[in-house]
Amino acid sequence: MAGIKIGDRAAGFCLPDAENTEHCLGDYRNKWVVLYFYPRDNTSGCTREARDFSALKLRFKRAGAGIIGVSKDSPKSHGRFIERQGLGILLLSDEEHKVIEQYGAWGKKKLYGKEHEGTIRSTFLIDPNGRVRKIWKKVKVAGHAEEVLETLRSEKKA
């Protein structure tokens, strides 16, 4: 899983949301960004992760950060996921997984003993200058959103 490393400038991108409105990383200039990549809408781990980030959205906002979730699901799938789960965060669609690959969050995975290519759950904390300050790869969902929030708070003090 190559890709972007701590200290690198975050790779710019523009992707559609659930309503096909394009959002760009550049829209977040001068703000902190939590950029997380997840495998699939409406699966148990991805649902928990999205709910956890949604539940902490106001705390992230007070800390000066926006949250962006990215998967290869379609905008329509994101719309159903947001509605079904009552999510309050921005989800973007990368159907061709170009941005996912650029960030090194695409690779070989094992499921039920079979190997396949897919999104590897990963999170990037990007500072207001567009630099990657922290990376979590192969994320375990339980407690992750809280850990990202605490890291954001400590990075802001540094």
The Cα–Cα gap between 74 and 85 comes to 16
Q: Which residues contact 143 (CB under 8 A, 6 or more apart)?
A: none
The Cα–Cα gap between 67 and 135 comes to 14
Sign of torsion over alpha carbons 57, 135, 122, 118? positive
Q: Which residues of 12-34 are buried (b: 16+ CB within 10 A; e: fewer)?
A: ebebbbbeeeebebeebeeebbb
Residue 46 appears among annotated catalytic residues = yes
- Catalytic-role residue among 46, 56, 87, 92: 46
The Cα–Cα gap between 34 and 22 comes to 18
Element (H, E) at 92: strand 90-93
Active site residues: 46
